[in-house]
């Protein structure tokens, strides 16, 4: 508003000066034209009949003074202030700033500002020719008027404009402050309401706000609901983790104490083997928990990139091949080499590794775990399908819905692990908008089928 006011002031000041200048210049031009019209030649002599109305009009500005001179040819004095023409033109020639226009044919009127006897004047010079039979005369009409009246008019015009601008400025500032206060008041109320809450109070904000604030309140409530879900999930997960870790630790302590007190070498060996089993189980659980924490962080911090699903699958297959061979299981792979998806390579590698390790663990010796990727057509378009098929005992239909639950273990199965691997696989699949499901293999075993949204390459397009 200050900048706009300053710009308006300079524009108004310039406009008022120009308007006053034009108004008084027209009076000077009118006076010069009236004098010219009353100038004629009589018997080879120029006769000037000064009209009284001309000077009466100019004398309406009572504080201004007038000077004039009428000359012929090269400045020969006819009437008025003798020597004015030569004096003014001599000074004007040094800094000749004037406005020129031609109100009628062959008539030149020139304006400029100059100093005469210590005062500023606005001068007009009208130049033309008077004709007589066989003879012509140059006629120059020079009139000067002090600038007090035009300066006063410009000042008054400028003052009126500035007063209006200042009034508008004050009204605008008041309205802006009132408007800003009205806009910010609901935000202050929301801030005050949230500040008074305890850290555990995650109820939605329930207050009446203007429609412009409704989206903000809705966003805050959505964030609060997400925070509540995250905190409840963390609380539940922490309790489950504490229970899952405490159980193998208690077993380790019990078996170690029994081994210390046991005298029978055979029984002590069995107890130490159970200690090793509990240690492996605890190590697997802690590793999976760390992986899950790492993945949860990546889900919120790492963007998905375009990657080749077959290349990632082959890389993970090579990584687990040694452990598969040690268990007497063969891993095979077949599929398309040109399937591109959006994903996090680390998260997808962890998902596939968990599925493969689960398949290897439950596969009989000398059996195969078949891994495949293919382009598959559906009613809604194309998908990239990843399948991992083993030839183990499979999972009963009643237990399939529980396989992906955290810490779920098959009852009575000594090979059950931490119960986190497949739950992590499901979380990774959901993060990639992929559908994961269990199918029965023939004649026995399980098939893990994961369908990814496909990123088509230029060739596929």
Distance (Å, rounded) from C-alpha 34 to C-alpha 50? 8
Instruction: Tell me what the mean pLDDT of segment 108-123 comes to.
Output: 84
pLDDT over 80 (residue 151): yes
> Of 27, 50, 52, 30, nearest to 40 (Cα)?
50
End residue of a domain, out of 156, 175, 193: 156
Does residue 219 form part of some domain?
Answer: no
Contact 115, 121 (CB under 8 A): yes
Distance (Å, rounded) from C-alpha 80 to C-alpha 85? 10
pLDDT over 50 (residue 269): yes
pLDDT in tens, 62-102: 778 888 899 887 778 888 888 888 877 766 655 545 555 55
Whichever domain contains 334, its CATH number is 3.30.565.10
Contact 109, 125 (CB under 8 A): yes
Question: Which pair of tokens denotes residue 271?
Answer: 């107890």
Does residue 274 form part of some domain?
Answer: no
> What is the band of 412 on the pLDDT scale with cuts at 50, 70, 90?
very low
End residue of a domain, out of 131, 156, 181: 156
> What is the band of 402 on the pLDDT scale with cuts at 50, 70, 90?
confident
Does residue 277 form part of some domain?
Answer: no
End residue of a domain, out of 156, 186, 213: 156
pLDDT in tens, 330-386: 999 998 778 899 999 999 999 999 899 889 988 888 889 999 999 888 877 789 999
Q: What is the pTM of this model?
A: 0.52
When the pLDDT of each residue in the chain is averaged and rounded to a whole number, the result is 82
Does residue 241 form part of some domain?
Answer: no
**What is the number of structural domains in the chain?**
2
Does residue 295 form part of some domain?
Answer: no
Does residue 101 form part of some domain?
Answer: yes
Distance (Å, rounded) from C-alpha 393 to C-alpha 444? 6
Does residue 94 form part of some domain?
Answer: yes
98 pairs with which residues across the strands?
112
pLDDT at 417: 57
Does residue 18 form part of some domain?
Answer: yes
261 pairs with which residues across the strands?
none
Distance (Å, rounded) from C-alpha 92 to C-alpha 46? 27
Which residue segment(s) compose the domain that 107 sits in?
2-156
């Amino acid at each position: 508003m200050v900048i706009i006011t300053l710009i308006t002031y300079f524009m108004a000041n310039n406009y008022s000066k120009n308007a006053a200048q034009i108004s008084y210049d027209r009076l000077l031009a009118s006076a010069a034209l009236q004098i010219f019209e009353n100038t004629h030649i009589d018997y080879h002599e120029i006769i000037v009949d000064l009209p009284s109305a001309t000077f009466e009009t100019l004398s309406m500005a009572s504080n201004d003074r007038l000077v004039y001179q009428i000359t012929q040819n090269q400045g020969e004095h006819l009437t008025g202030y003798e020597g004015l023409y030569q004096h003014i033109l001599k000074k004007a020639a040094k800094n000749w700033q004037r406005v020129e226009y031609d109100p009628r044919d062959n008539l030149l009127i020139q304006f400029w500002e100059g100093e005469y006897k210590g005062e500023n004047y606005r001068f007009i010079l009208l130049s033309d020719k008077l004709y007589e039979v066989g003879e012509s005369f140059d006629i120059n009409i020079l009139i000067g008027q002090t600038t007090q009246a035009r300066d006063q008019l410009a000042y008054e015009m400028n003052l009126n404009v500035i007063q209006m601008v200042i009034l508008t400025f004050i009204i605008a500032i008041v309205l802006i402050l009132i408007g800003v206060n009205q806009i910010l008041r609901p935000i202050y109320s929301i801030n005050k309401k949230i500040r008074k809450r305890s850290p555990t109070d995650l109820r939605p904000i329930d207050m009446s706000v203007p429609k412009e604030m409704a989206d903000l309140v809705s966003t805050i409530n959505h964030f609060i609901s997400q925070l509540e879900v995250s905190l409840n999930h963390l609380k539940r997960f922490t309790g489950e983790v504490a229970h899952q870790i405490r159980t193998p630790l208690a077993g380790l302590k019990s078996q170690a104490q029994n081994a210390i007190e046991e005298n029978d070498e055979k029984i002590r060996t069995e107890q130490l083997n159970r200690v090793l089993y509990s240690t492996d189980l605890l190590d697997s659980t802690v590793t999976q928990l760390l992986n899950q924490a790492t993945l949860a962080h990546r889900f919120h911090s790492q963007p998905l990139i375009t990657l080749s699903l077959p290349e990632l699958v082959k890389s993970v297959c090579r990584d687990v091949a040694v452990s598969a061979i040690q268990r007497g299981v063969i891993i095979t792979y077949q599929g398309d080499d040109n399937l591109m998806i959006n994903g996090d390579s680390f998260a997808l590698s962890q998902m596939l590794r968990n599925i493969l390790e689960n398949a290897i663990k439950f596969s009989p010796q000398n059996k195969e775990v078949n891994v495949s990727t293919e382009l598959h057509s559906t009613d809604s378009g194309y998908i990239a399908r990843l399948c991992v098929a083993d030839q183990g005992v499979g999972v009963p239909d009643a237990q399939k819905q529980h396989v992906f639950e955290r810490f779920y273990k098959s009852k009575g199965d000594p090979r059950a692990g931490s119960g986190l691997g497949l739950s992590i696989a499901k979380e990774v699949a959901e993060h990639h908008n992929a559908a994961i499901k269990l199918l029965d293999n023939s004649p026995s075993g399980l098939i893990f089928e994961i369908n990814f949204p496909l990123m088509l390459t230029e060739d596929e397009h």
